[in-house]
Structure 1
């Protein structure tokens, strides 16, 4: 019998819409590292440049991951993730998280 996932209830943010707008307004374009824990509790992460703001109310952002990505199942099964915005001098970190099979 197929199971139906119970939707998770979002917690209210502990920041204002203005703070969210201000923070996202500083990110015109660039590179991010998205991290999470796999269902087994193993840290996972990847480099993504597909990060965008979507909405202030509710506060929503978007990042994209290819259906063929090896980490897709872990990100889909997870309940939380973090988006880390990189500075221009963090190119080595971006490359490390972009490398296939790398320790990330």
Structure 2
């Protein structure tokens, strides 16, 4: 519904929306998250980096599924991401996807 409203707005019209869960993954490609200090985590095309990382490191915090955003933002040490609202030098594990196969992140623990 949000995307339909966004498409219906006149060109250049600003629109603010918030999601309380990550959007569904469409057309995703597998990639690798290399965690500083290990391990490397394979992220399948149909899963988020947050899901894949939490399978090995369940202590990684998140809150997007509880109505808050920003908790899963971590320092992006190497690589680039797409679909990522976290800002320069960061990645949101819930939605950011590596553009070139591998990203390196620092979980700060």
Instruction: Compare the two structures and name the one with the higher helix fraction.
Output: 1
TM-score (norm 2): 0.29
TM-score by length of 1: 0.30
